[in-house]
Amino acid sequence: MSLVANTGKLAGRTLFITGASRGIGKAIALKAAKDGANVVIAAKTAEPHPKLPGTIYTAAEEIEALGGKALPCIVDVRDEKQVQSAIDAAVKKFNGIDILVNNASAISLTGTADTEMKKYDLMHTINTRGTFLASKLCLPLLKNSDHAHILNLSPPLNMNPYWFSVHVAYTMAKYGMSMCVLGMSEEFKPLNIGVNALWPRTAIATAAVEMLTGDTSTSRKPEIVSDAAYVMLCKNPKTYTGNFAIDEDVLKQHGIKDMTPYACDPKNADKLLLDGFLEDPAALGQHQYVLSASVRRYHTTAVTRCEKKETEGQIPVLFGTISKVITPELVKNTQAVYQFNVKGKEEGVWHLDLKNGDGGCGQGEPKNPPDATLTMDSTNFADMFAGKLKPTTAFMMGKLKINGDLQKAMKLEKMMKSLKNKV
C-alpha cells in the first residue's frame, strides 16, 4: 500500500536500479513506473529461484503494466563489463540515465571467527565495490542530466562500537556504501548531482527477511521504503544531497503521520522489529552490557538435565521449567545446541541441547559444541523465554548478541511459541 501520491515528476526519467528483480529494489521501480519512468532492472536473477520469487523479466512485466518502460539486464555488480554493458544498453534505449539506485546488497550477520572469507569478499564486492563501481560508471551520464540523483540503500554512519562488534564484516561493507554517500555528495556538488542514503527504521518484509526469521508479522511492507525513496528522488538534487535519511522520518516530513497501513500486521504496528545501526532509545540502554562485557572463560560442568538448585533467581527456575517441556519432537524439529552467557544480576552460563539424544538443559557449558552462543542480560533472557521478547527483536535492538549459526539461533523463536504458555 502506497500512501504517497504520484506526482509525475519522474515521468520520462531513467532509473538504473541494482537488485531490482525483487524486494525493495523492485518496489522503488514500480513506484517510479506509475509516473511513466524508464527503469533499467540491473540484477542477476534471470532464472526463477527455487525459494525466492521474481526475475528481471517478471519485474519488467510489472513495470510496464503500470505505465513505465523497462529494460531488464543481467548484471552482477561485481563485474565491471556487465555493469558497463547495461549502462550502454540504457543509453541506446533511453538516451541516458538520470537516477542511480544502489540497492544490491549481500548480508551475513556473523562475527569475525564465523565469517568465511568468501562471504566477506561477497559482501565487500557487492555492497561497497558494487556501489562505487555503478556510481563511477554512471557518472558521465548523470553529469548530463538536469535531475541527477544517486540513492544508496545504506545506514547512517553510526560509530557506536556495538554495531561493529556483532557483525564487523557486514557493518564494514554496508558502511562502505554510506561512505560513498558521504564522499560523493561533497565531490559531486559542483555537478548538481544529489547523493543520499535511505535506511528503514524497521525490518522490511522481503523474501530475505522471511527466509531468515520465518515470520514477517513484525515487519513493514517494502512500500514504506519505496514511498520514501520516491519523495527523495523527486527533490531538487542541487539542494538535497548528503542526507542519511530514515524512511519513516522522510514520510513524516512529507505529511504522513500514521504508519500503521505499512505494517504487515496492523496489530503489531507498535511492536515492530527495529532495524540495525539506529540509536533507538529503547535499545541504547541495552548496548552497554555488550560493550562492557569482558571476554572470559567459564569453567563449569555441563549437565544433561536441569536439576533443582539452591540458587535463587529467575534463571534456575526458568530452566527447571524448560526441562519439563523438552520432548523428542522438539529435539527433532530444532536440531541445535545453544549456550547462553547470561549477564547482569544472575550472571552465569547455561545450555540447552535440542540436538542430541532426548535433549536437555542446565547450568554450565554444553557437552557438545554449541551451534549458537547467545549473550544477553538476565532480565531480557527471562522475558525472551516467557514470550515477552522475540529473539529477532532482541537481536535487532541490541539486547541479544549471537555468535555462530544465526539461522539456528532464530529457531528459538518458533520453539518459544510452544513453551510460552508453560514457562
How distant, in Å, are the alpha carbons of 85, 147, 231 from that of 193? Answer: 23, 8, 16
Torsion 5-11-17-21 (CA) sign: positive
Going by the DSSP 8-state scheme, the letter that residue 128 receives in this structure is I
Among all residues, which ones are annotated catalytic? 170
Buried b (16+ CB within 10 A) or exposed e, 266-286: eeebeebbbbbbbeeeebeeb
| Angle separating helix axes 56-65 and 23-33, nearest 10 degrees | 30
Beta bridge partners of 39: 15, 70
Q: Count of alpha carbons within 13 Å of 138, Cβ hemisphere only?
A: 34
Task: Give the three cell numbers for residue 243.
Answer: 542526507
Strands 244-246 and 193-199, by their bridges, are: parallel
Phi, then psi, of 219 in degrees rounded to 5: -115, 170
Residue 205 amino acid letter: A
The Cα 12–Cα 171 span in angstroms is 36
The Cα 176–Cα 132 span in angstroms is 9
Task: Give the three cell numbers for residue 323.
Answer: 526441562
The Cα 89–Cα 91 span in angstroms is 5
How distant, in Å, are the alpha carbons of 13, 139, 280 from that of 70? Answer: 12, 21, 38
